[in-house]
Amino acid sequence: MKDRIAGKPQNCLSSPSSVNGPQIVDSRTILYRDGKRVWRNDLAADCPSLDRYDILVVELHGSQICKNDLFRPVDPGSRIPGAYCRFGEFTPYVKE
């Protein structure tokens, strides 16, 4: 995200149904895209079972994805869910 500027971190992603993603970067980082904005989530802790091709099963409590919400990565081939992981803050990045 070299060509983008970070904004103020937010506790929730306001409308997850209108964003594209998730894009799993590594065991600690997930990206969502909302138009020209990219939302980076640095997970609360390392999620060792998270793989870039996994599907995320998110436990929503309302209409937002928020910091500390739980999710489980699921390998699409085996359909076996991994351990629970927690979202961290959502940082918006916009182009300069």
Q: Residue 33, Cβ neighbours under 10 Å: how many?
A: 14
Q: For 31-87, what is each residue's pLDDT tens digit?
A: 999 888 999 999 999 999 999 999 999 988 888 999 999 999 999 988 889 999 999
What average pLDDT does this structure show over 11-30?
Answer: 87
Does the pLDDT at position 16 exceed 70? Answer: no
Domains of the chain, residue spans: 4-95
Alpha-carbon distance of 50 to 66, in angstroms, equals 18
pLDDT band of 15, cuts 50, 70, 90: low
Taking the whole predicted model, whether its pTM rises above 0.85 is answered as yes
pLDDT band of 17, cuts 50, 70, 90: low
